[in-house]
Chain A
Amino acid sequence: MEALLYLGCTVPIRNLNYEVSARLTAKALGITFRDLEEFSCCGFPLKSLNVEDTMVTAARNLALAEREDLDICALCNACAGTLNEVAHQIRTRPEIREKINQRLRPIGLHVEGKVRVRNFMRLLWEEIGVEGIRKAVTRPLEGIMLAPHYGCHYLKPSELNVGFDSSETPRTLSEMIGATGAEVVNYPSLLDCCGGGLLGMSEEVANAMAARKLVDVSKTGAHALVLVCPFCNVMYEGQQKKIAKSTGLDLKTPVVYYPQVLGLALGMTSEQLGFKLNRIKPASLLKIVEG
């Protein structure tokens, strides 16, 4: 199957390990990603200032995708959520569609909301499936314990995820981790928000939110926390040292992206999968896998 790969602002600049591993694993599983150079910001960063600005910024990307007649696959949870939500509004609310198209006219675009937007995990879940992943695995990650973190915009608002996953008892990421042969580790704060949304407003509150999960996961003995969102990564990987220092906790939890561990199970090397960009090295994980 073919989809337009939507990178957003953060992933292609700050999370090359996510991008490179997503591209490699998708290709290995028979998914063809096409790049669209004109894609820009999804509009989410404008939402607090002006919801309509967010909608037109998102709609610009949706209109570009419609011209290509291809669905979108977004790597970032916030991008996927925003594009999906705006596509939904355009489809279901004619007055909003009209208003957005008025504002798109000066740049020569028109949107109908025909394009389907999925995050990378939903694409894997629906197009490849857990069984498909399991069959493609050539190097099962036996002896590896991994803790999933979904992220809020992966699961919510739940009306955008009907038929995919549950916001209260999610399973898709966990099952796709299990398909790699690794053991899925459960922990009390599984559904916690990372706090990334307010890092710019109150670092103290944001860090306190992230700290609980880091403590829980470190107690489980998991080899890594598995993410699919660059904003969650800012908190769990980027802020981890600061959180450890301010709380006095002994934290050293490696943080990896799902396609990185999937890639290992598909037989790719840690170098190909960009592991050298992971700031807290998953050394024991890589030692078990690669020797």
Chain B
Amino acid sequence: MTKINLNRLDPQFKNRVAEQPGGEGLKACFACKACTAACPIQPLDKRYDPRKIIRMVLLGMKDQVLGSDFIWLCSSCYSCQEVCPQNVRFTEVMYAIKNLAAQEACIPPGLMAQRSLLRKHGRLYEVGEFENEKRLKFGLPPIIEHPEDFEKLLPDQSVGV
């Protein structure tokens, strides 16, 4: 078992998570483990354990949580959220945790690439002649990109550094 160094805990970490949109329910957790039992990821990858993640946040283990790979393993299936007797809304809490990790620049590269595509095209896939020709063959109307709003809508600096 890993030892926890009390001097390296951040007592404000739980408050920062709870202040993020979706993080509000965090402190209501009474550790019943219904979330972990309902989670489809946990049996496949033991590192991803909802109850344990909540305990780590409440203890202030900021670096171990935000810098970990496992926080990105949530599939957003809402199973944990549906069974929680305390209305913690853990799926949303996970987003709050990932948003904080993103602010600290701990972001998987794929996610940043998606954001860049969105700012440039307003969509996840660039639409060109090839795509619209294929659509035409099926009698479907062309997709026209409207990227002009997105540079204003998604500021460059709203994520990490």
Residues of A within 8 A of B (CB): 7, 9-10, 12-14, 16, 19-20, 23, 35, 37-38, 40-41, 45-53, 55-57, 60, 96, 103-104, 106-107, 152-153, 156-158, 167, 192-193, 195-198, 200-202, 205-206, 208-209, 274
Contact = CB atoms under 8 A, between A and B. Distances in A.
B72 A201 contact: yes
Contacts of A38: 146
Given A16-B140, A57-B118, A201-B72, A45 B124 contact: yes
Contacts of B78: 152-153, 156-157, 167
A162 B125 CA distance: 33
B158 A10 contact: no
Interface in B82-138: 82, 91, 95-96, 98-99, 102, 107-108, 110-112, 114-115, 118, 122-125, 127, 131, 134-135, 138
Given A37-B144, A45-B118, A158 B102 contact: no
A35 B143 CA distance: 10
Contacts of A48: 72, 95, 98-99, 102, 111
Interface in B136-161: 138-141, 143-144, 146-147, 149-150, 152-154, 158-159
Given A40-B122, A49-B99, A192-B40, A156 B146 contact: no
A157 B73 contact: no
A197 B159 contact: no
A37 B146 contact: yes
Given A9-B125, A46-B115, A157-B82, A35 B99 contact: no
Contact of B153 (A16, A103, A167, A200): A103
A47 B95 contact: yes
A209 B75 contact: yes
Which of B72, B98, B110, B149 has the most C-beta atoms of chain A within 10 angstroms of its own C-beta?
B149
Given A12-B135, A48-B72, A202 B45 contact: yes
Nearest to B131: A13
A50 B146 contact: no
Nearest to A199: B75
Most central of B77, B108, B152 by chain A CB within 10 Å: B77
B20 to A, nearest CB: 7
Nearest to A45: B114
Query: Among the interface residues A13, A19, A152, which one has the most CB atoms of the partner chain B within 10 A?
Result: A13
Given A156-B78, A197-B76, A12 B140 contact: yes
B99 A46 contact: no
